[in-house]
Structure 1
Amino acid sequence: MKILLLGGSKFLGRAYAAEALSRGHQVTTFNRGVSGADLDGAEAVRGDRTRPEDLERLVDGRRWDAVVDTSGQQPYDVAQTARLLRDRAGHYSFVSSVHAFADWPAGPVDESSTTLDCPADAPPDQPFANALKAGCERAVLDRFGERSSLLNCGLLYGPYEPIGRLPWWLERIARGGRVLAPGDPDRPMQLIDARDFAAFGLDLIDRGLTGRFVTTAPIGATSYGEFLDACVRATGSDAELVWTDDATLLAADVQPWTELPLWTPDQPDWQGTWRADSSRAGAAGLRCRPVAETVADTWAWLRNGGSSKVSYTQGLTGIPIGIEAGKEQRILAG
């Protein structure tokens, strides 16, 4: 097939490009060329989706069987892109997020869950908000309807991760010593390797499946203890994980999710974080590789220069990832 990737050079987009090329598809990537190099074998078209003239140049004389949108953040931009592609692509696959659901992370979600209130025709350049993903979804549905798929993404990790949640843990554990491990080691987690996400997204396109899919690992697929133990094994470190209860961490003003990446305390606002029901995706063929494999592959990538490509900040918010060493040691000292 002929596939257009909006993005295609960074993390999930790169995973899509690699998977599509390995399947023999003809791949066009559309990006600004600032986040990374496009993979050999793809037709790279440079441009900014916020500029109408760049979009017009992209679509001029081209048609695709499917478009995969991994870069849509603003409803206005997604609406303009979908409008131009409506008669030039057979299928529109939009990578959304569990953030689009009104009840997440406080409660469990599935495909029937209510999404946040944001119109498809929201003005351009809106300040960052989780609701924007819901508006992007509506923009796709308005123009592609039943020819679209919405993939509500869970927590992505793996090689080429730009934020640095898993990379931070790997690098901290590699330094060894007593490591502050947060909460309950048996607390369940749901993590999905970007490569598995991309393979599933392309499977849907290959099979002509549409609709909404919560796309993450099954509930209870792994635990925080298994996740950090895999980091210890991958790095070969002598690190000692010192499990510390939620109350102690909160009393020390440790910020959930960011200072100790992916830690969610047992509090009402976080109860649904790892309870996104992905059974529909599982029934449609989603398969997630073992956590240990992704952790090992990410460590190999980091040791091969990957650290230079990680921001160690929380997405568009700019919040730093990882706890300051002195603060960690003070908590460990009791």
Structure 2
Amino acid sequence: MCEHEAQQVFGARTLIIRPGLLVGPLDPTDRFTYWVSRVARGGEVLAPGSPNRFVQFMDARDLAQWIVELIEHNAAGVFNAACPPFSLTFAQLLAAIKAVTQSDASFTWADDAFLQQQRVKEWSEMPLYLAQSSQETRGFMAANIDKALAANLTFRPLADTIRDTLEWRATQPSPLQAGIDDAREKELLDTWHHTSQGVIVTSAADAR
């Protein structure tokens, strides 16, 4: 509705940006920050769903810089803004965080059925996670960004976003706004290990 109203007033001059999940320092949602903080602490980490499920997000600083450049060049049109789809799996993300933070984290991947049975809340208790069986959210992290790439959208290295997020989080006294608490995570891990399907993954390579 907002897009329609803007186009009604400004017509072909309208610039509309449709960002996906934004991450990095100063993020008030802590969705990405949770994973950086949790993996940095090390130990056994409860990881949701399939390790090969793709995730899609972008550093808010890259988005801000790109929008300024678009405005400076009087750009118009509708653009999706996120990292390239199908380029980063959940396992690769967690492995990257482990490498940057130099933690001893290992990852135990609990499948959708288990998480649903245990009533683990998608996106809040397990940020960036949406069950693959959900028809409503299918494709949520697979936005086409070809038009934005053609308009010079660029991305800083993932390691930089992880490092900067970790350093920023260390300055914040408030509790995380997303993610599962330690006691609940331990309870779920204990329950998972009592099944016959528990698998511990220590690296992205092990997930293949």
Q: Structure 1 147/311 Cα, relative in aligned 2: closer, same or farther at 3 Å?
A: farther
Equivalent residue in structure 1 for 2:102, among 230, 233, 236? 236
Alignment map for 1:3-42 (pairs within 5 Å):
none
Q: How many residues of Structure 1 are paired with residues of Structure 2 in the alignment?
A: 190
How much has 1:206 moved relative to structure 2? 2.0
SS at match of 1:229: helix
Q: Which has the higher contact order (CA 8 A, sep 6+)?
A: 2
Distance 2:139 2:104 in 1: 33
Percent identity between the two aligned chains:
36
Alignment map for 1:262-273 (pairs within 5 Å):
262-267=128-133, 268-273=135-140
Partner of residue 295, structure 1: 162
List gaps (5 residues or longer) in structure 2. 192-208
Partner of residue 333, structure 1: 190
**CA RMSD across the alignment:** 1.7
1:181 aligns with 2:47: yes
TM-score by length of 1: 0.54
Alignment map for 1:1-334 (pairs within 5 Å):
135-267=1-133, 268-303=135-170, 305=171, 307-308=172-173, 312-313=176-177, 321-334=178-191
How much has 1:292 moved relative to structure 2? 2.1
How much has 1:311 moved relative to structure 2? 7.0
Is 1:196–1:289's contact at 8 Å kept on the other side of the alignment? yes
How much has 1:213 moved relative to structure 2? 0.5
SS at match of 2:136: helix
Partner of residue 52, structure 1: none
What are the Cα deviations for residues 45-72 of structure 1, in whole angstroms up to 9, with x where unaligned?
xxxxxxxxxxxxxxxxxxxxxxxxxxxx
How much has 1:263 moved relative to structure 2? 0.7
Partner of residue 12, structure 1: none
How much has 1:281 moved relative to structure 2? 0.5
Distance 2:64 2:87 in 1: 19
Distance 2:181 2:84 in 1: 32
- Bigger-Rg structure (1/2): 1
TM-score by length of 2: 0.84
Partner of residue 123, structure 1: none
The runs of 4+ residues in structure 1 deviating greater than 3 Å are 310-313
How much has 1:240 moved relative to structure 2? 1.3
Distance 1:300 1:234 in 2: 12
Distance 1:230 1:165 in 2: 16
Higher strand share: 1
Amino acid at match of 1:168: Y
Partner of residue 32, structure 1: none
